[in-house]
Structure 1
C-alpha cells in the first residue's frame, strides 16, 4: 500500500532551478532603489515567502510605502531573465511517473498566480497538477492555509499528504498543517536547518527524490 494520496511540491528551488535568478533580482531591485543590497544568504532565505513578506525581510530598512516600487523592480529583473531558467533535470520524468501511479499532485508556492501560470505554460507541465495555490491567493508560508486548502479541494487527509520543498518555510508549513514533509538540499536553504522539522527524507538531487518516492510514496 502506498503511504500518500497527495504530494504537494514547492516550485522555485524544488522543481524549477530559479534560486540564483530570484536572489539576483532581489539584489538588483534594492540597488535600483539605492537601499542596502542584501547578501546572497539573506536574499535566498526569503524564497518561498509571499512577495511582500520576502521584500520586507530582504530589505528591512525600506519604508512600507515603497514596497510596491521595490516589487515592480524585482518583477522587472526577474521577467527579463526568466527565459534562462528551467526545470531541474529529471523533474518532468519524475512527475509523469507519479501521475502514472495515480498520485494527486499539487503546487504550493510563494509565487503569484500570474507568475505560476506563466511558468507552467512554458515548461510542459500543464495538466500534470491537480491543483495549485499561490501566495497572492491565500496566506503566505509558513502558515498552513495553503496546504489546508489544497487538501480540502482534493479530498486528502493530512496523514496521507506529503509536502516537498527546499526551504524551512515549506517544512514549517507542513508541520503546521499536520502533514509529512521531505526537504531538498539543492535549492535555496541549507539543509542543516531542516532537522528541526523532522523531514522523512532530505534529497540531494531530483534523482534521489524520485528514488525515495518510488520506495516510500
Structure 2
C-alpha cells in the first residue's frame, strides 16, 4: 500500500468518487473503444494509445479538442457518436469493478458518509453501470457531463454539495487523474489520487492531493487514521 501523504485533519461528510479508473477497471477498454471510433471517422486525428489513456476523465468532446485543436464541433460529434455506437455494440460489458471498490463504497455508506459519483461518462452510461455493478443502492447522488461542464471545472462537485447540503470543506474527491484533483481544488474541497487509472503517481502528486493511494480499497483505512466516521459522531 502507498503511504498517505498526510492523515486527514478534519472530518468529512461526503466522499465523491470518479468512476472509470477509480471504481471501474475500464481504462484499457475505453482506450480500445476510442481507437475503434477514430478508425470509423477517417478524417479524425489518430493519437497514440498512451495519449488517449492520459486524456480519460475529460468529456469525449474535450478530449477531441486536445487532440485536434483545429477541428470543428461537427467532426467531434461524429467521433462521439461513433464511440457511443462502438461502446454499445462491442465494449459495454467488458468493464468490471476494481478489487475492493464495492466493499469500500458499501463500508463508507454503512458508516454514515454521503457517497456520490462525479464522472465524464454520460448519464445513460452511468445509470447502466450503476445497475450492472449493484452500487446504485449505496450512492446518494451523482453528476455526469450530461448535467455539468467537464472536469476540471468545478460544476459537478458544486452541484453535489448543493444537493446534499454539504460544505466544500467537508467533502473529499477521489480520482485517478489530475483532472479529478484539479476539479476538487477548483471546488474548494480535498482530493485524493488513486493509482488504478489513467495518470501516474508523478502526475497526481503534482496536484498536491491529501494522499495518493494504491486504490480505493485503502481509503477506509486512511479515513479512519484521523477521525471517527460520521455515524459515530451522532
Q: TM-score, normalised by structure 1?
A: 0.93
Structure 1 counterpart of 2:19, from 11, 18, 31: 11
2:131 counterpart of 1:90: no
SS in 2 for 1:11: coil
| Counterparts of residues 156-195 of structure 1 (less than 5 Å) | 156-195=166-205
Unaligned residue ranges in structure 1 (runs of 5+)? none
What corresponds to 1:120 in structure 2?
Answer: 130
Question: Structure 1 residues 15 and 216, CA, compared in 2 at 3 Å: closer, same or farther?
Answer: farther
State the Cα deviation string for residues 94-134 of structure 1 (Å, max 9, x = none).
Answer: 11110111000100111111110011111111121111000
Q: Which moved more, 1:41-50 or 1:99-108?
A: 41-50
Distance (Å, rounded) in 1 between the aligned partners of 2:138 and 2:110: 10
1:41 to 38, 46, 50: 50
Q: Residue 196 of structure 1 aligns with which residue? A: 206
> Is this contact kept in 2: 1:46–1:58, CA < 8 A?
no
Shifted more, 111-120 versus 200-209: the winner is: 200-209
The DSSP-based 3-state class of the residue aligned with 2:65 is: helix
Question: Could you tell me how far 1:60 is from its partner in structure 2?
Answer: 4.2
Q: CA deviation at 1:16?
A: 0.7
Secondary structure at the aligned position of 1:37 is classed as: coil
Match of residue 206 from structure 1: 216
Other structure's SS at 1:105 match? strand
Structure 2 equivalent of residue 29 of structure 1? 37
Q: Distance in 2 between matches of 1:36 and 1:2?
A: 46
* Contact 2:16 2:118 (8 Å CA) reproduced: yes
Residue 106 of structure 1: SS of its match in structure 2?
strand
Deviation at residue 76 of structure 1 after TM alignment: 2.0
Paired with 1:3 and 1:122, the residues of 2 have a C-alpha distance of 32
Is the deviation greater in 113-122 or in 67-76?
Answer: 67-76
Matched, 1:56 2:43: no
The TM-score normalised by the length of structure 2 is 0.87
Deviation of 1:2 (Å)? 6.6
SS, match of residue 25 in structure 1: helix
Deviation at 1:84, TM superposition (A): 1.4
Offset, 1:22: 0.9
Q: Kindly report the root-mean-square deviation, in angstroms, between the aligned alpha carbons of the 2 structures.
A: 1.7
1:22-64 CA-to-partner distances (Å, cap 9, x unmatched) read 1111111111212342112210122111221122224446433
- Matching residue of 1:133: 143
Number of residue pairs matched?
A: 217
